[in-house]
Amino acid sequence: MTGTSLFSTYDLGGITLANRIVMAPLTRNRAGAGLVPSEFAAEYYAQRASAGLIITEATQVSAQAQGYQDTPGLYTPEQIAAWRKVTDAVHAKGGRIFVQLWHVGRVSHVDLHGGEAPVAPSAIRADAKTFVNNGFADVSEPRALELAEIPGIIESFRQAAANAISAGFDGVEIHGANGYLLDQFAKDGANQRSDSYGGSVENRARLMLEVVAAVAGEIGANRTGIRLSPVSPANGISSSDPQAQFDYIVAQLDKLDIAYIHVVEGATGGSRDVAPFDFAALRKAFRNTYIANNGFDHALAEAHLAKGEADVIAFGRPFIANPDLVERLKSGAALADLDPATLYGGGAKGYIDYPVANADTAA
């Protein structure tokens, strides 16, 4: 489906989006005791409900899935109840909201797990840092998951998806990107297994596809999306054959008929120089919604839509300091800059106190 304008409505799996602007997941490290969403999260997300779709900060599917301090989960009754306040607030403003479901795998630290090692496809330490004990530290050495543990990983995603619906979310996005667990299995820089989850392109894709199938089976394919980053080196991840790997993954995702793929085109938060990777091949192979992400401004987003290179465009960091990003893009108002000192951790400051460009219009 060829896009027409960033501000035109869009049908996402039967859900009408007010525009083709997605708020991408943004980790803010503000979860409270019990890893419930911040007490200010409902206001934060409601302020940004003019986006066609909000995708929440990455949210753990289990205690084992955590990789950074103060990031929320969706596996306890208290977490579900706290997220319900967020979804109610967004829906009251006419917005739509999916939760991003997350298992970090090896991108974690023993201090988050009572001294236990993080888990990974193989016992290969990531060249990456995590936020723990109020600062950044090198991630810990992981242990390889036993074959018998893998069904439990799949089950944790399925249960978290069920919890998401209980919490009032319109759907879920599975985090298959940025060097986290599902991406680790898919890429041979992190996956050196010799069993049915390692070796071939098909075997390395297996866990990701089994998770997607389980989630779609639980809540419906039309409520299920996934984020992919075929060539991003985020969190020390690498692949010797990204085109073959992701051509296969996307072809299989198309068969599962899920609502969307959300693709980081280039290095996460960095360059859009993706040669020689062919993102158009992924776009062509997937019949449903293609969300493009990475370094978009208004002009580039409109050009992408006009050429049919995407259906919807995701914006990340601009949403932090611009709760009214949709209106600013529409009016041409200048974008505010975020305060890096309040990006990770803290309370209301730098979270819910960014002003809108035109208070009269917003009111």
| Peptide bond preceding 276 in cis form (omega within 30 of 0) | yes
Strand partners, 262: 227, 291
CA distance 244 to 241: 6
Q: Which tokens in the block code for residue 294? A: 């990475």
Task: Enumerate the H helices of 167-297 as residue ranges.
Answer: 181-186, 201-219, 242-256, 279-285
The most distant pair of C-alpha atoms in the chain lies apart, rounded to whole Å, by 62
Helix-helix angle 77-92:150-166, to 10 degrees:
40
**What is the phi-psi region of residue 179: left when phi exceeds 0, alpha when psi lies from -120 to 50, beta otherwise?**
left
Contact present, 211 and 205 (Cβ < 8 Å)? no
Q: What share of the chain is helix, strand, coil (3-state, %, to 5)?
A: 35, 15, 45
Single out the catalytic residue among 180, 197, 260, 344: 180
**DSSP secondary structure letters along 130-150:** EEETTEEEEPPPPEEPPGGGH
CA distance 53 to 308: 19
Backbone angles phi, psi at 319, to 5 degrees: -75, -20
- In the residue annotation, 68 being an active-site residue is answered as no
Contacts of 22 (CB under 8 A, 6+ apart): 51, 52, 53, 54, 55, 262, 291, 293, 312, 313, 314, 315
Active site residues: 180
